[in-house]
Amino acid sequence: MRALLMRGLFICAIFVTVWILMVMYWRSTNRMPTSSEVVLYLLALPVSFLFGLWLIRKMTVAVTDSAAARVAAAAVPQPDDVNPPAHDDKQERTWTLAILAGALRSPHGASPDELASALKSKEARLELDTELTDSNGFPVRTGRINDINGDAVAEVIAAWLNSANMQIPTWTAEQLRALVMGSDVLVELASQALTHPYLIDYVNAGTTKRSSIELPVLQLLPVFPDSWPSDLRKTVANWFMHLIEQHGWPAEKILISPMMTSNRTEPLSLIDRLSVHSHRQSLPCFCLLIAFESFIGEKSINQWDAAGQLLKGKGNTGQIPGEGAAGLLLADQNQATLMDVEFPATIHRIAQGRREKSADANGQVSAELLSELAQDALLIADTTSDKITMLIADSDHRGSRMTELMSLSQRVFPELDFNDQCMKIAADCGAAGAVSSLTALALAYQEAAVNTAFTLCTSNQDAFDRTAVVVGPFIKATFDTQATASYIH
């Protein structure tokens, strides 16, 4: 509505300006215009001027779309690759991706290392919130992250939107907090992407020579909060792309990942789909995946309270509202070999399934499915349970989730100490949707990369969906330059 009003005012301003100029001209020449001159100069002239502006804008958009199409073409198969080679199921199960870097923001640390240290030391505690209360006026326990200045970021984004002639959204407190954390994680991971060895040559090369430099397209895959409308998601996606470009990655080499349109927003599933898409189409994978969420605000607390979702007292049926952001820099084997980062890790294909009975239903909760998925994940990774040094889950403190996780540990990993070798993200940091799952994966990456160990990452937050995946040390493959040449282009 605002854009339509502004467009109407602009058209009126053009007509009024032309009219004023023509009346001033006729007065200065002391002549009375004829009827045909009145129609020509007071109607046809401003209409022609507006048509010219419209035509210029269309040409500009066409040029921009053409450039965007060329970028997209770099990320899809060329004619020779329309029918990629077929792979059998057994071979597809062996496909992997590399995790080159991880970043996060949580109530107990601003990095995977800090959070892992806090959780292992058993010092991570969630306190009563000093600002938020439930419907009875009692303070609620939250996983709040201190020192988040949403207003400052809102001003920066507003200035950028104004300069780009885009509409400025009305932010809620929770949306701004999530955006601040998401932007921080994005910038941290983007700085890791900038270490790609081909970037400097690409930036310094002339336009005609850049096509010969094998710099991959950097895919941006943001996992937005479920409650965010599509127009807000589009605005933030554009903002993230602007941040990446601002920090030095070429704009024509940034692309929103096609996985963003997926109906499945569970991070482990998205990564698996990304891996399958990249391998089946023989495309390079260089992807920045981030999730960000905040339930720290009056609006969220009131909604949780009204839905009976909020933890009160010492019960274990409600959840603790949390917030945070987490992200990973993912790459295929060739890109990972090129990057040669200090601490890479390997993520294998996932094992996933769906419970027949809701984990929130009354009665005993079975852990058979999660245990079966864990065993399947071990087979996919060609490893055994005794090699797993850490079990990391996105679980919260609710009895059904804890029972399921403890049963998994006893059945599949009896050698693990559940108290010392099992991390439960939402239980210790507060529930934060997809952020809890991606935080668990970031910690699994930390354990696998730094300690060269195998970890099992599981997701059982949802009432039905269950996922398990093994993250292990990275094994550098022999670099096939001939394959990469066709693979990049």
How do residues 5-31 score in pLDDT, each as one tens digit?
666 677 777 777 877 877 777 777 777
The total of structural domains in the chain comes to 2
Among residues 23, 53, 70, the one where a domain terminates is 70
Per-residue pLDDT, 265 = 74
Same domain, 42 and 185: no
Report if residue 199 sits inside a domain. yes
Per-residue pLDDT, 60 = 53
Same domain, 55 and 118: no
Report the C-alpha gap between 459 and 465 in whole angstroms: 8
Report if residue 10 sits inside a domain. yes
Same domain, 62 and 168: no
Same domain, 204 and 111: yes
Q: Taking a C-beta distance cutoff of 8 angstroms, is the pair 240, 183 a contact?
A: yes
Report the C-alpha gap between 222 and 327 in whole angstroms: 9
Report the C-alpha gap between 359 and 467 in whole angstroms: 14
**Residue 346, amino acid:** T
What is the band of 365 on the pLDDT scale with cuts at 50, 70, 90? Answer: confident
Predicted structure pTM score? 0.80
Report the C-alpha gap between 478 and 484 in whole angstroms: 12
Same domain, 57 and 164: no
Closest Cα partner for 426 from 391, 461, 374, 471? 461
Report the C-alpha gap between 197 and 209 in whole angstroms: 17
Report if residue 83 sits inside a domain. no
**Residue 257, amino acid:** S
Report if residue 317 sits inside a domain. no
Same domain, 63 and 176: no
Same domain, 218 and 280: yes
Output the domain CATH number for residue 367.
3.40.47.10
**Residue 343, amino acid:** F
Report if residue 88 sits inside a domain. no
C-alpha torsion angle, residues 154, 155, 156, 160 (rounded to 10): 100
Q: Which domain holds residue 378?
A: 95-292+322-488
Q: What's the whole-number mean pLDDT along residues 113-128?
A: 92
Per-residue pLDDT, 78 = 41
Same domain, 61 and 191: no
| Non-local CB neighbours of 240 within 8 Å, separated by 6+ positions | 182, 183, 186, 220, 222, 290
Same domain, 64 and 117: no
Same domain, 44 and 145: no
Report if residue 478 sits inside a domain. yes
Same domain, 186 and 275: yes
Report if residue 302 sits inside a domain. no
Same domain, 258 and 403: yes
Report if residue 90 sits inside a domain. no
